[in-house]
Amino acid sequence: MDSPLSPVIANFFMDNFEKKAIEQATHKPVCCFRYVDDNFVIWPHGQEKLTEFLNHLNGLQNKIQFTMEKEDGHLPFLDIDIYRKPDGSLGHKVYRKPTNTNLYVH
């Protein structure tokens, strides 16, 4: 990725890839957000269909493989900790990795 255009081209490719993958899927997420190589999906169809969707994504391009983290009360996405409130709605707060030292350069 020596060219300054490489990230832009990769983003265009992934945007197109994502649209085609969702169009072709038998079950679709409620919403899907992507930033570079991180995706956030709300999935209402159950665990079995989620595994099928992941296999569908991983079967489209052998050079592009997705992994999955599931929500266990909360899920970090970028610098946000998204959590489920008692009423079932979603809340959020700032997320810091356990290795964060809060040290900054002047």
Q: How many distinct structural domains can be found in the chain?
A: 2
Per-residue pLDDT tens for 17-54?
999 999 999 999 999 999 888 999 999 999 999 999 99
Q: Is the dihedral of CA 76, 80, 86, 90 positive or negative?
A: negative
Q: How far is CA 77 from the centre of its chain?
A: 8
By the 8 A CB rule, do 82 and 73 touch?
A: no
Q: Is the pTM of this model over 0.85?
A: no
By the 8 A CB rule, do 83 and 93 touch?
A: yes
By the 8 A CB rule, do 91 and 83 touch?
A: yes
Q: What is the pLDDT of residue 98?
A: 87
* For range 81-97, the mean pLDDT: 93
For residues 75 and 93, membership in a common domain is answered with yes
H or E stretch at 38 = strand 38-42
For residues 22 and 49, membership in a common domain is answered with yes
Mean pLDDT for the chain? 92
Taking 90 as the threshold, does the pLDDT of residue 100 lie above it? no
Residue ranges making up the domain that contains 102: 71-106
For residues 22 and 56, membership in a common domain is answered with yes
The amino acid occupying position 12 is F
